Amino acid sequence: MARILVVDDEKVMVKGIRFNLENEGYEVDVGYNGREAVDKARATDYDLIILDLMMPELDGLEACMEIRTFSTVPIIMLTARSEDHDKLLGFEYGADDYITKPFNILEVKARVKALLRRASTARKQEDNRLSGGGLTMDTASRRTWKEGEPVELTAREFDLLELLMKNPGRVYSREQLLNLVWGYEYTGEYRTVDVHIRRIREKVEADPAKPELLRTKWGVGYYFDGKD
């Protein structure tokens, strides 16, 4: 279950939010000023932070800005101000959502669930991404980009490049690549691997004659050099 940090100098409000979120099954830590918020966020990998705007030591905007220097954790700001200017300022400082006081606790719980769901979806999408050397692959949609520009790969080319990108620096012999990408039942010649490597190089290398991504280990095989 998600771990949430709630920070507000109004201790009664913190107690109420904590009680309701724990009833939803969340693990909840609390703090009472902006400095505590930053220190706790730095020390613990939270899934979400609820941060009051007006607090001692550091206000919510300052705390949010400082947290953003080391974390992308979703942040909900609590504020007694309803002006659009204040909300826009909060978003500029790195807040993901705003709740205006006084609020219904049902709204807080709904916003928390929605933000955690979006964050979870984003993490799953990130898990599907492979990147290195200016190349990006999305293994779910089976799309590839070079410096942001789409690269059209055949199914076999994609499978071959995916294997190498998942294991940067690891050298695979032609026989290993045939077994892993084409399957153990494949009876083709090793030359097949060379042809596919050449075709991929033509699509992703700045100079296919001098490859910097799909490299050859002479006498052994091929590997992906993922250094950016």
Give per-residue pLDDT as tens, 87-121: 677 777 788 888 888 899 999 999 899 889 888 76
108 & 182 share domain: no
Overall pTM > 0.75: no
150 & 219 share domain: yes
114 & 133 share domain: no
Buried-state track 103-128, b at ≥16 Cβ within 10 A, e below 16? eeeeebbebbeebbeebeeeeeeeee
pLDDT at 98: 87
pLDDT at 118: 84
pLDDT band for position 14 (cuts 50, 70, 90) = very high
16 & 86 share domain: yes
118 & 199 share domain: no
**pLDDT (average), residues 35-45:** 95
3 state DSSP class of 52: strand
Domain around 99: 3-127
**pLDDT (average), residues 222-227:** 88
The total of structural domains in the chain comes to: 2
89 & 169 share domain: no
The CATH number of residue 163's host domain is 1.10.10.10
Compute φ and ψ for 178, nearest 5 degrees: -60, -45
**pLDDT (average), residues 182-211:** 85
How far is residue 170 CA from its own chain's centroid?
A: 25
64 & 118 share domain: yes
